[in-house]
Amino acid sequence: MDGDDALSQPQHEDSHFHSADEQDGPLAAEKLEDFHSLEWQRRERHFLVLSSAGKPIYTRYGNESQLSTLMSAVQAIIASFSDMSDPVRSMTTGSHTIVFYINGPLYLLAVSSRDDPEELLRSELQLVHSQIVSILTLAQLTKIFEQRSSFDLRQLLGGTEGIIDQLVDRLDMDLSFALGSLDTLWMRYRLRERIGKTLLNHRPKGLLYAMVVADTKLVTLMRPRKHSLHPADLHLLFNMSSSRGFVSGEHWTPVCFPRFNDQGFLHVYINYIAPGVALILVSADRDSFFAMTKYRERVCQEFSTDDLLQRLGDAAAQRALHPRELGISGLLQLYYRHKTLVQHFGTRFEDSVDDAQVRRIINTYKRLRLHMTKGGQKPLRIIYYRCATDMVLAWQSSTFELYAAVAPSMDVKGMIRLVNTVIEWVKNEEDHLFVINSPSY
């Protein structure tokens, strides 16, 4: 299958996005914040998007329409460096780090008062840009601004703000993006295998990918034998499919997969077949909605006959494994990344860990991974971090990465023994933790 042949021309009118105006509660209140207010200024992280002409496009907090003055100032700062061989990349003012990411006609800006590393913020801005591209395609973005540099892109992004908001929030606390791998749902191997075979047995002509996803965790993925989608593209797809507008009813929408081909759309069918469980289908044929609906009906009928749907719903309803379920004392939380499969799993945090400590540990994981994956002739294999409140170990080999938090009272030898026990446990549970054999055709 040739990538270009599999893509249709950009046709945004098929999409079924829901406006942020339909939302209520805390999210709606956040959008009403004035950027002069204490609430807006006290936010630890801000993400802003504007056009090269200084037109506001997106802000995580507040209303971008009220940020015209601020956006114009940002545009002026970027423009003042545009003639230099080294354009502006970041700035520090007081306790705030400001990171810029410029990609064609879009300027993206992250502001953090948490001392987040510049590399981390820039990678997050790249993901925000990719989410916008997934909605419009890079070809459409480029063409729009070539024809009219002052175009207000909000006309095309209307209704998708909630998707970008959710991405920004997940970037903060979901390690999947920093790990660059897919989170998987713990499930008995035989059950996962039966679900995958059902997807494969009923595959209609034109269906490229079929996946079952539970709360952004991959259950299984059917794909062409010689082609796979990049984890970054799947992150964007899972983020979109889990947003509020997609959790009820059937949806058929064009989606661009930037790592696959940023010039055009594939077409995606989304339907929640059980609470928290989505069936996501990807086709190159924009007219195959009814074929996808029939496929979903056949799949769900077989799931129901074999009691798979109930078992799938039960598995999805289970929260992530608790550290004590591993039978390892002293463990507060861990993430294990399988390098070959590009998948990972993480436990819940121990009940004694409060929200502030959860945030500190997640941020520590991100920092340690940056240090460990910078490359060089002798990349770091083990990093041990300890402070008055936290104790974290990052460890990588040729086959895995592991990030573990333990009680600060544990000594180094005890921590090493604990991690070795975790690795042995993962080996014994590997078939249930990861999607080992994806169904393919």
Q: Which two tokens stand for residue 383?
A: 């990093």
> Could you read off the pLDDT of 56-93 as tens digits, one per residue?
999 999 888 888 888 888 888 888 887 676 788 999 99
Say which residue the tokens 């080996």 belong to: 427
Long-range CB contacts (within 8 A, 24+) of 250-255? 250/293, 250/296, 251/16, 252/14, 252/16, 252/289, 252/292, 253/14, 253/15, 253/16, 253/17, 254/8, 254/10, 254/11, 254/12, 254/14, 254/15, 254/286, 255/134, 255/135, 255/282
User: Which 3-state string (H, E, C) describes 336-382?
Assistant: EEECCCCEEEECCCCCCCCHHHHHHHHHHHHHHHHHHCCCCCCCCCE
Alpha carbon distance 210, 57 (integer Å): 33
Task: Round the average pLDDT of the chain to a whole number and report it.
Answer: 90
Q: What is the pLDDT of residue 10?
A: 34
Contact by Cβ (8 Å): 283, 208:
yes
Q: In angstroms, how far is CA 42 from the centroid of its own chain? A: 25
The H or E element spanning position 90 is strand 90-93
Lowest mean pLDDT among 52-56, 364-368, 401-405: 52-56
Nearest to 220 by CA among 247, 263, 190: 190
Inter-CA distances, 105 with 151, 186, 337, Å: 10, 42, 36
Phi and psi based region of residue 288 (left: phi greater than 0; alpha: psi -120 to 50; beta: remaining):
alpha
> Could you read off the pLDDT of 282-331 as tens digits, one per residue?
999 999 999 999 999 999 999 998 888 899 989 888 888 899 888 888 89
> Could you read off the pLDDT of 33-45 as tens digits, one per residue?
877 788 888 999 9
Rounded to 5°, the CA angle 306-309-315 comes to 120
> Could you read off the pLDDT of 236-281 as tens digits, one per residue?
999 999 999 999 999 999 999 999 999 999 999 999 999 999 999 9
Threshold 0.85, pTM exceeds = yes
Burial 318-356 (b: 16+ CB within 10 A, else e): eebbebeebebebbbbbbbbbeebbbbbbbbbbeebeee
pLDDT band, residue 5 (cuts 50/70/90)? very low
